[in-house]
Copies of this chain bind each other. A is one copy, B any other.
């Protein structure tokens, strides 16, 4: 039966709601926090608003021919039950929830939430898959040691991941970095780990398809995680986020990066830092929903018509 787009309780992409990941090849899951944020909050409502705006999504990718729903079993499994008053406890809850999701072989597609969540998610991912490659799209490196004296926050997740051996540093790429910084050589730590750093200046005025060809070569066939901070995009396109930086990527480049991941052994993806109170038109959430759909379309088992 045909159902009007405006109708119904909003699940991601109007998919069925399931209680668990059992039997699913991929699952959309929300992590509604913003308590790791340093500036504008609101990302706690990111999952809810992405679901709402995802009503625009249809079944096929008209550009690539991907037919995800004819290929794999997908559903929306709701949100992790977070603790808004204790960020460390929230990290524990996320880690446990993802352990459970991953145990079934399901690939989680995460609706954030602030970027803090990448740390406990990657704890669970590495527990199952070993140290993984990382495609990290962001305005910020998120590799600070501390924020306001604290180890856990949205500016530190990848520092923690390296310290715990969750990443394969030779297979980490960070794309879109920019903005003012706490030191003159802001990406020295990343480079010292062996990360490939692609400052935004290297992306200006050009297609990122060539970059992604190099990234695919770098990543090989081993497991890879894709973490996409919506603030990688220029705030002209994605105003609804907490720490915007000007002169960023375009949505076109964002789509190129994700489509460029086709063929990788993706074991998980996230789209984080959508902050609805600053998204006055809903279009940042809509952009997030579309990027998540593009991620779904490049998962290993998806067929192209």
Residue A150 is within 8 A (CB to CB) of chain B in the complex: yes
CB distance from A254 to the nearest CB of B (A): 8
Contacts of A80 in B (CB 8 A): 7
Quick one: closest B residue to A44, CB to CB? B6
8 A Cβ contacts from A1-16 to B: 1-11
Known A84-B148, A247-B252; contact A181-B6, beta-carbon cutoff 8 A:
no
Cα–Cα distance between A25 and B139 once the two chains are bound (Å): 31
Contact of A182 among B60, B181, B245 (CB under 8 A): B60
Contacts of A250 in B (CB 8 A): 247
Cα–Cα distance between A19 and B36 once the two chains are bound (Å): 29
Known A6-B39, A9-B10, A153-B85; contact A184-B60, beta-carbon cutoff 8 A:
yes
Contact (Cβ within 8 A) B177 A62: yes
Known A63-B178, A201-B63; contact A281-B85, beta-carbon cutoff 8 A:
no
Residue A274 is within 8 A (CB to CB) of chain B in the complex: no
Of A117-125, A166-174, A235-243, A261-269, the segment with at least 4 beta carbons within 8 Å of chain B is A235-243
Contact count band on A: 35 or more
Contact (Cβ within 8 A) B62 A178: yes
CB distance from A292 to the nearest CB of B (A): 11
Known A182-B60, A184-B60, A246-B286; contact A85-B148, beta-carbon cutoff 8 A:
yes
Contacts of A200 in B (CB 8 A): 63
CB distance from A179 to the nearest CB of B (A): 6
Contacts of A251 in B (CB 8 A): 234, 236, 246-247
Contact of A180 among B9, B62, B178 (CB under 8 A): B62
Cα–Cα distance between A102 and B91 once the two chains are bound (Å): 38
Cα–Cα distance between A78 and B1 once the two chains are bound (Å): 15
Cα–Cα distance between A251 and B243 once the two chains are bound (Å): 17
Residue A293 is within 8 A (CB to CB) of chain B in the complex: yes
Cα–Cα distance between A86 and B178 once the two chains are bound (Å): 28
Cα–Cα distance between A28 and B153 once the two chains are bound (Å): 30
Residue A196 is within 8 A (CB to CB) of chain B in the complex: no
Contacts of A8 in B (CB 8 A): 78-79
Contact (Cβ within 8 A) A41 B38: no
Cα–Cα distance between A36 and B7 once the two chains are bound (Å): 16
What residues make up the interface of A, taking CB atoms closer than 8 Å to B? 1-11, 17, 30, 32, 34-42, 44-45, 48, 51-52, 55-63, 65-67, 76, 78-87, 147-150, 152-153, 177-187, 199-201, 204-207, 234-240, 243-247, 250-252, 254-255, 277-278, 280-283, 286-287, 290-291, 293, 304-305
A/B interface sample: 16 pairs, CB < 8 A: A4-B32, A6-B82, A7-B30, A9-B76, A10-B10, A36-B85, A41-B41, A58-B181, A58-B182, A60-B180, A60-B181, A63-B200, A84-B153, A85-B150, A236-B251, A247-B254
